[in-house]
């Protein structure tokens, strides 16, 4: 399998003898410690580190780890202090660190790698591998593990598939087991192979392989799967700048239009009873208020248009029955509803002469 972007960067660093930190961005992402082109430590959320493996697997007790950590705080030689206190052998510790590096690089290579940035910073890992591991060997081991998992009859995604135990499918046995009892106790439908590896202090690859075999044996089933993180496509810098320029020009046009609108006179306010046709629009007879009167006159305006009024209503025409000067007969007019506001309005004819109020 040809190396991906992460593998190519590691091979280039090995050829140049680079020392520092290689920060990997992606899913799960992590930090790789480099020393003269070799890999001494890998920190990633995709696989447990040597501390989690030693403590959660029971190889080193919590009290002994705390004492060794306090003694090695001055010089940072945690591995030497563990060996000196006989908490673990030197060969066992080196093998464990090498396997932890292989498992961590497998998690990085099997995930999503977005970018790799080299930082010229001093490595400060707690348990570095001495001597450093060769990147070529770690990359080949990661590719082999990926191929083995992909060739399984029912492959399992180590970071997405959540497994659940099948009730009654397994009978407990007395004596040392192969770790299936612990896995069945943790397989509750909410944990993946990565989660179980962190709890038990085992490698992610080993747990994934065992889960796949247990699923084939009918002891486990895949309850649910977490959706893979979708990587948004990166925009082209030229197109991004063109879009920004277009947005700026549109913003300027909108601002200029806003200035023109601000310079225009405000629209007339709609008066009550208008039909919404503007200030110069005509109003229907039903919409006009019956209490509206001409200025200086006590008689209400007719609720009909001038063109629809009879000739008797035109000024200057005298009709039989109409009110003439000196006559006591009231003028005939069309029945209308008198508003309470008009009756109570000061200065109206109804207030001056209450006897003339129209029912």
Cα gap 33→40, rounded to integer Å:
6
What pLDDT was estimated at residue 72?
A: 87
Asked whether 46 and 207 are in contact (CB, 8 A), the reply is: no
* 214 and 127 within one domain: no
130 in a domain, yes or no? yes
Verify that 23 and 114 share a domain, yes or no: yes
Residues sharing a CB contact under 8 Å with residue 184, sequence separation 6 or more, in sequence order: 165, 170, 214, 219, 220
pLDDT given for residue 5 in this prediction: 86
| pLDDT computed for residue 347 by the predictor | 55
The dihedral through the CA atoms of 295, 298, 303, 307 has a sign that is: negative
Residues 117, 196, single domain; the answer is no
Looking at the structure, tell me whether residues 92 and 220 fall in a common domain.
Answer: no
Same domain, 145 and 186: no
Nearest to 133 by CA among 13, 8, 48, 28: 13
Same domain membership, residue 190 and residue 123: no
Q: Does residue 220 lie within any of the structural domains?
A: yes
- Please give the order of strands across the beta sheet that includes 161-165: 188-192, 161-165, 220-225
Q: Does residue 281 belong to any structural domain of this protein?
A: no
- Are 34 and 140 contained in the same domain? yes
Owning domain of residue 208: 161-167+180-224
Whether 78 and 23 share a structural domain:
yes
pLDDT for res 75: 76
d(CA 65, CA 82): 8
120 and 217 part of one domain: no
Q: Say if 344 falls within a structural domain.
A: no
pLDDT for the residue numbered 335: 56
The predicted pLDDT at position 96 comes to 96
Q: Is residue 43 part of a domain?
A: yes
Q: Note whether residue 115 is domain-resident.
A: yes
The pLDDT score that the predictor gives to residue 215 is 92
Q: How many domains does the chain have?
A: 2
d(CA 322, CA 154): 107
Cβ-in-10-Å burial (0-12, 13-18, 19+) of 198 comes to buried
∠113-133-142 over CA atoms, to 5°? 40
Tens place of pLDDT for every residue, the chain, 359 residues? Answer: 456 789 999 999 999 999 999 999 999 999 999 999 999 999 999 999 999 999 999 999 999 999 999 988 777 789 999 999 999 999 999 999 999 999 999 999 999 999 999 988 776 788 999 899 999 999 999 999 999 999 999 899 999 999 999 987 766 665 556 788 889 989 999 999 999 999 999 999 999 999 999 999 889 999 888 765 555 444 443 444 445 455 545 554 544 444 454 456 666 666 665 554 444 444 444 444 444 444 444 444 444 445 444 444 444 444 444 444 554 555 556 555 555 555 555 555 545 555 544 44
Is 81 within a domain?
A: yes
Residues 26 and 136 in one domain: yes
Nearest 5 degrees, angle CA 332-CA 338-CA 344? 120
Residue 98 and residue 204 in one domain: no
Residue 346: inside a domain: no
Q: Do residues 84 and 24 share a domain?
A: yes
The pLDDT value recorded for residue 176 is 56
Q: Which residues pair with 43 in a beta bridge?
A: 31
């Amino acid at each position: 399998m040809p190396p991906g972007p992460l593998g190519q960067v590691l091979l280039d660093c090995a050829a140049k003898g680079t020392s520092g930190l290689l920060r990997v961005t992606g899913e799960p992402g992590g930090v790789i410690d480099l020393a003269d082109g070799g890999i001494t430590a890998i920190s990633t959320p995709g696989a447990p580190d040597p501390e989690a493996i030693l403590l959660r697997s029971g190889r080193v007790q919590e009290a002994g780890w705390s004492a060794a950590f306090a003694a090695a705080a001055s010089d940072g030689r945690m591995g030497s202090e563990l060996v000196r206190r006989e908490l673990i052998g030197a060969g066992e510790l080196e093998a464990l660190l090498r396997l932890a590096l292989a498992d961590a690089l497998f998690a990085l290579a099997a995930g999503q790698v977005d970018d790799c940035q080299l930082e010229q910073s001093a490595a400060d890992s707690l348990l570095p591998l001495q001597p450093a591991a060769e990147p070529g060997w770690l990359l080949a081991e990661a590719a082999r593990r990926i191929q083995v998992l992909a060739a399984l009859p029912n492959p399992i995604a180590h970071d997405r598939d959540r497994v659940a135990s099948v009730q009654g499918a397994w009978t407990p046995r007395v004596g040392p087991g192969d770790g299936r009892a612990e896995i069945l106790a943790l397989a509750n439908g909410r944990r993946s192979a990565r989660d179980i590896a962190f709890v038990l202090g085992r490698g992610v690859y080993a747990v994934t392989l065992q889960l796949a075999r247990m699923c084939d044996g009918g002891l486990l089933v895949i309850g649910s799967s977490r959706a893979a993180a979708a990587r948004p496509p990166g925009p082209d810098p030229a197109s991004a700048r063109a879009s920004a320029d277009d947005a700026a020009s549109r913003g300027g046009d909108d601002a200029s239009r806003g200035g023109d609108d601000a310079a225009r006179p405000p629209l007339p306010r709609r008066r009550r009873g208008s039909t919404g046709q503007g200030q110069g629009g005509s109003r229907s007879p039903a919409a006009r208020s019956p209490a509206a009167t001409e200025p200086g006159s006590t008689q209400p305006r007719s609720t009909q248009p001038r063109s629809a009024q009879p000739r008797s209503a035109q000024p200057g025409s005298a009709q039989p029955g109409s009110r003439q000067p000196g006559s006591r007969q009231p003028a005939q007019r069309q029945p209308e509803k008198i508003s309470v506001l008009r009756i109570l309005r000061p200065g109206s004819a109804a207030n001056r002469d209450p006897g003339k109020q129209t029912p």
